[in-house]
Amino acid sequence: MRVTSEGLPSPRLEIDVEAIRHNARVVSGWCRDAGLGVYAVTKGVRGDPLIARALLGGGVTGLADSRLSSFRQLQDLRQSGGGGRAPGPRFLLLRAPSPGQATEAVSLADEVLCASADVAEAVGRAAAGLRPGRAYGVILTVDLGDLREGLLPEDVPRAAVAIEERLARASGGRDPERRAFVAGLATNLACFCGVVPTRGHLETLVDLARQTGQALGRRLSVSGGNTAVLPLLLREGLPPGIDDLRVGEGILLGRESLHREPLPGLRVDPFTLWGPVIEIARKPTCPVGECAEDAFGHRPVFVDRGRRLRAIVAAGRQDLVPEGLRPLTGGLEVVGATSDHLVIDVEDYPGTLRVGDEVGFRVNYACLLQAMTSPDVARVHVGQA
Residue 3's pLDDT band (boundaries 50, 70, 90)? very low
Instruction: Kindly tell me if the per-residue pLDDT of 202 is higher than 70.
Output: yes
**329-378 residue pLDDT tens:** 999 999 999 999 999 999 999 999 999 999 999 999 999 999 999 999 99
Element spanning 63, H or E: strand 62-65
Residues 220-261: tens digit of each pLDDT: 999 999 999 999 999 999 999 999 999 999 999 999 999 999
The pair phi, psi for residue 325, each rounded to 5°, is -100, 140
- Kindly report, residue by residue over 247-256, the tens digit of the pLDDT: 999 999 999 9
**Can you identify the CATH homologous superfamily of domain 34-253?**
Alanine racemase (3.20.20.10)
| Degrees to nearest 5, angle at CA 368 with 366 and 374 | 105
Enclosing H/E stretch for 159 = helix 156-171
- Exposure on the CB side of residue 332, measured as CA atoms within 13 A: 25
Q: Is the pLDDT of residue 115 over 90?
A: yes
Instruction: Specify the DSSP class assigned to residue 136.
Output: E
Report yes or no: 138 and 167 within 8 Å, Cβ to Cβ: yes
Q: Is 53 left (phi over 0), alpha (psi -120 to 50) or beta?
A: alpha
- The letter for the amino acid at 71 is F
Q: Is 222 helix (H, G, I), strand (E, B) or coil?
A: strand
> Which of the four pLDDT bands, split at 50, 70 and 90, describes residue 175?
confident
Q: Please state whether beta strands 62-65 and 90-93 pair in parallel, antiparallel, or not at all (unpaired).
A: parallel
Q: Quickly name the fold that domain 2-9+270-382 has.
A: Lyase, Ornithine Decarboxylase; Chain A, domain 1 (2.40.37)
- Nearest partner of 336 among 287, 267, 385, judged by Cα: 287
- Once rounded to an integer, what is the mean pLDDT over residues 270-298? 95
Position 2 pLDDT exceeds 70: no
| Whole-number average pLDDT of the chain | 94
Kindly provide the residue ranges of all beta strands, DSSP E only, lying in 314-352, ordered along the sequence. 325-327, 333-337, 342-345
The dihedral formed by the CA atoms of 349, 352, 355 and 361, expressed in degrees to the nearest 10: -40
The CA distances from residue 368 to 47, 197, 378, in Å, are 13, 24, 12
- Domain positions in the chain are 2-9+270-382, 34-253
Q: Tens digit of pLDDT for each residue in 44-76?
A: 999 999 999 999 999 999 999 999 999 999 999
3-state secondary structure of 230: helix
Distance (Å, whole) CA 242 – CA 222: 5
Round to whole Å and give the CA distance between 293 and 316.
Answer: 17
Query: Which H or E element spans position 250?
Result: helix 249-253
Query: What pLDDT score does 280 carry?
Result: 98
Percentage above 70 pLDDT, the chain: 96
